[in-house]
Amino acid sequence: MAVGASGQPVGRLFTARLVWGALLNGVVLYGVVLWFLAPGTAAAPGGRGSGPLAVVLRLMAVAAGVSAWVIFRRSFPASRGPQALPRYVMVWALCESVGLYGLVLGLLTRDIPAAAPFLLGSAGLLLVFRPRSEQLVD
């Protein structure tokens, strides 16, 4: 077990919460970046946020969300303790990728409202798959 600066052991639950919080804050940071780098108005219906790139990114976001759900449901009933943390990190990375797709869409189209569902979906998925002590503690 890792030892912190105070000499006290740092558990898996603390590590998991730290990584999860960093990823969740990353999604918030994507929104801040879009706010400053892509200041635009709402796109008109059928505008920039509905082209082929937006469709592909939406499909990729749905695939990432479904993949995270499947991995979580299939691997977590059997994994506890030290085996759970790497699986959590894999699920969280898939959840955060949804926000990255929104960041890409927002920066390329300069359309913040088109990127907002991706960012909210990413944050929502991360909140659903938050670290649980019963799975991380031996």
pLDDT tens, 41-85?
A: 555 455 556 688 889 999 999 999 999 999 988 877 666 767 788
80 vs 6, more confident: 80
User: H/E element holding 104?
Assistant: helix 84-109
For residue 111, the Cα-to-chain-centroid distance in whole angstroms is: 20
Task: State the pLDDT at residue 55.
Answer: 92
Q: pLDDT value at position 79?
A: 62
pLDDT higher at 37 or 42: 37
Contact 136, 81 (CB under 8 A): yes
Handedness of CA 101, 104, 107, 110 (dihedral sign): negative
Q: Cα(111)–Cα(4) distance, rounded to whole angstroms?
A: 43
